[in-house]
Amino acid sequence: MKTVACIIQDGFAPFEFGVACEAFGLDRSDDGVPNFDFRIVASELGPVASKMGFSINVEHDLSFAYEADLVVVCPIPREWWGRTDPRVLDAVRDAAARGAWLLSVCSGSFVLAEAGVLDGRRATTHWMYADTMTSMYPQIDVDPDVLFVQDGRIITSAGTAAGLDACLHLLRQEIGAELTNRVARRMVVPPQRDGGQAQFIDRPISAVQSDSLAVVTEWAMENLREELTVDHLADRAHMSARTFARRFKAEHGATPAAWLARQRIIQAQRLLERTDLSLEAIAVECGFGSAAVLRQNFARVLGTTPTAYRATFSCATSEDAVPAA
């Protein structure tokens, strides 16, 4: 992925627009992160009004979207759902047809839906709009509970911060886990939030509870090679297993088992990129136990093999390569 077109329309949401700019538009070459040719595009050149009362001057028309490797669609106001500029819809359809990445943030998914590229696919949007999307587009399998959904090369995300999670998810596939972690660190956000996590927590968590879970999750990430059961983690948090599982799900939007599985995958990605450890050794280090189980999890989560992943991302920057012990 080298080129990124970010489509905005009148009434665009500044925060969600800023997410795309932050994820793909900044020069992070000092951190070894490749730069993208990032351009903001619109149907017409000139000022495009945000929903917050200010405008930005767009210097690129939609022609760039027809050649971009990634097309990002920002949210549009509710009154425009189902009435998107046909020129924008054509650009979206073209991106899907030629196999480019498509990524929508929040209600930008309604543009993808209107273009027809989500028909027969699973997708998400902000939970407040999920019922509306289901009603308007019954041919789409709308999941209202998750942060983001990837179906093929189309990624739809929920509101605000979930769009950033979706961007980081895409970057992990394009530049690898280690470099994506650097991007996340620069933005001071966690790189590990998985798409299957809940969009919102059911109830607030007190500072004491949150701190106790933070200590346990930090310890778990440092000890992924161990057999980490819910009972074991609950003991470290000084809670019953039932209470721990309930509070963990409320705070993290995922079960302890699902959260651990994702951390193990991310650690395996980093070891594949930065070391020449064997697959068996990596499987042990990450808590998978065997290379066969590692392969199964890679295929399920990332749709590729550890060997293919290593061939693509190994030693992304030579000075970061770490030899096996």
d(CA 199, CA 221): 23
d(CA 165, CA 184): 10
* pLDDT above 50 (res 325): no
| Better-predicted residue by pLDDT, 303 or 74 | 74
Report pLDDT for 250: 80
DSSP string, 166-232: HHHHHHHHHH-HHHHHHHHHHHT--S---TTSBSS-SS---HHHHHHHHHHHHHHHH-TTS---HHH
User: On the CB side of 215, how many CA atoms lie within 13 Å of its CA?
Assistant: 11
* pLDDT above 90 (res 229): yes
CATH 3.10.20.30 fits 3-187, yes or no: no
Number of H helices, E strands in the chain: 13, 11
* pLDDT above 60 (res 208): no
* Section 158-162 average pLDDT: 84
Closest listed residue to residue 170, CA positions, set 159, 183, 160: 183
* Section 149-177 average pLDDT: 91
Confidence band for 210, pLDDT divided at 50, 70 and 90: low
* Section 82-100 average pLDDT: 97
Task: Please give the sequence-ordered ranges of beta strands (E in DSSP) within the chain, or none if there are none.
Answer: 3-7, 37-42, 46-49, 55-58, 60-61, 70-73, 101-104, 122-123, 141-142, 148-151, 154-157
d(CA 154, CA 141): 14
Match 């405008």 to its residue by tokens: 55
DSSP helix/strand/coil, 4: strand
Rounded to two decimals, the pTM is: 0.74
Any idea where the domains of the chain sit in the sequence? 3-187, 207-253, 259-320
Q: Which residues contact 43 (CB under 8 A, 6 or more apart)?
A: 9, 61, 62, 85, 87, 88
d(CA 150, CA 139): 17
Match 């001071």 to its residue by tokens: 188
Confidence band for 253, pLDDT divided at 50, 70 and 90: confident
Written as six digits, the tokens of 173 are 């596939």
Q: Which of 1-10, 119-128, 192-201, 244-253 has the lowest mean pLDDT?
A: 192-201
| Better-predicted residue by pLDDT, 208 or 267 | 267
DSSP helix/strand/coil, 241: helix
Are residues 99 and 130 in contact, defined by beta-carbon separation less than 8 angstroms? no
Confidence band for 19, pLDDT divided at 50, 70 and 90: very high
* pLDDT above 60 (res 207): no
* pLDDT above 60 (res 273): yes
Closest listed residue to residue 191, CA positions, set 224, 165, 218: 165
Q: What is the CATH number of domain 259-320?
A: 1.10.10.60
Give the tens place of pLDDT for each residue, 32-61: 999 999 999 999 999 999 999 999 999 999
Confidence band for 307, pLDDT divided at 50, 70 and 90: very high
* pLDDT above 70 (res 191): no
* pLDDT above 90 (res 300): no
Report pLDDT for 320: 47
Report pLDDT for 146: 85
Q: In Å, what is the CA distance from 98 to each residue of 71, 244, 267, 294?
A: 12, 47, 33, 32
Match 């951390």 to its residue by tokens: 263
